């Protein structure tokens, strides 16, 4: 279990936190606040620490930076405590596990697909923007701005394509890939619709 080694702001005492217990972190009155579940009693508590929030985020393997829709402030949420993410009025809403069986609803200034891409990047996996899906032949086309990504799509690699909650979400297996002005990936499965659809590719 990963640890966050921090300094309590009130008295400069060193504190070691299990990352799994952290719910989120944010800045309030220029002080980094870490919201966590207490190991002693299981209740939610807030720890004010001396470290700047960027340092806490760099130390962490689970905290993902998002933007709170209401305040426009950056909030770092524990990706492993997000139980659901969905779009509402083109913006993501995430449900964070809290104390007991309670869930915290947090509206973001990002779309659900953007949140998903942030999580993928945090996991250290590859994520690319898609231009389209084509049913004949079975291809997925990557955005030209991403450059030649054919080396990432060798035969047999499994990857996930997802849009913003659309019908194109699917898991594909690579047959081959080629580069011209875009990266075109031939897959074993037929994409769900024969139409242009934007989205993201997640390569595990």
Task: Quote the pLDDT of residue 60.
Answer: 93
Task: Quote the pLDDT of residue 194.
Answer: 43
Residue 93 has pLDDT above 90, yes or no: yes
Q: Please, what are the domains in the chain?
A: 3-121 (2.40.50), 126-203 (2.40.30)
Confidence of residue 72 (pLDDT cuts 50, 70, 90): very high
Sign of CA dihedral 87, 92, 96, 102: negative
Summarised one tens digit per residue, pLDDT across range 145-173 is 778 888 888 898 888 776 544 555 677 88
Q: What radius of gyration do the chain's Cα atoms show?
A: 20
Cα–Cα dist 62/60, whole Å: 6
Cα–Cα dist 174/158, whole Å: 6
Residue 197 sits at the vertex; the CA angle it makes with 156 and 121, to the nearest 5 degrees, is: 60
Sign of CA dihedral 122, 83, 26, 20: negative
75 CB neighbour count, 10 Å cutoff: 21
Residue 106 has pLDDT above 80, yes or no: yes
Task: Quote the pLDDT of residue 164.
Answer: 46
Cα–Cα dist 109/73, whole Å: 10
Residue 80 has pLDDT above 50, yes or no: yes
In the predicted model, what is the mean pLDDT of the chain? 86
Alpha-helical regions (H) of the chain:
53-59, 112-122
The pLDDT > 70 percentage for the chain reads 88
* Residue closest to 64 by CA, chosen among 52, 49, 50, 81: 81
Summarised one tens digit per residue, pLDDT across range 7-47 is 999 999 999 999 999 999 999 999 999 999 998 888 999 99
Cα–Cα dist 40/115, whole Å: 32
Confidence of residue 189 (pLDDT cuts 50, 70, 90): confident
């Amino acid at each position: 279990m990963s640890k966050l080694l921090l300094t309590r702001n009130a008295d400069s005492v060193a504190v070691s936190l299990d990352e799994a217990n952290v719910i989120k972190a944010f800045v309030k009155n220029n002080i980094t606040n870490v919201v966590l579940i207490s190991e002693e009693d299981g209740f939610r508590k807030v720890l004010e620490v001396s470290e700047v929030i960027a340092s806490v985020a760099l130390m962490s393997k689970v905290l993902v930076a998002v933007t709170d829709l209401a305040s426009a402030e950056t909030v770092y949420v524990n990706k492993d405590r997000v139980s659901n993410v969905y779009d509402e009025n083109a913006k993501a809403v995430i449900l964070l596990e809290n104390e007991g069986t309670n869930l915290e609803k947090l509206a973001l200034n990002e779309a659900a697909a953007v949140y998903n891409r942030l999580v993928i990047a945090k996991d250290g996996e590859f994520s690319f923007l898609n231009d389209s899906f084509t049913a004949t032949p079975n291809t997925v086309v990557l955005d030209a701005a991403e450059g030649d990504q054919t080396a990432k799509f060798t035969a047999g690699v499994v990857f996930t394509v997802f849009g913003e909650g659309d019908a194109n979400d699917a898991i594909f297996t690579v047959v081959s890939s080629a580069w011209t002005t875009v990266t075109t990936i031939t897959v074993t499965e037929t994409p769900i619709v024969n139409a242009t659809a934007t989205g993201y590719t997640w390569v595990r």
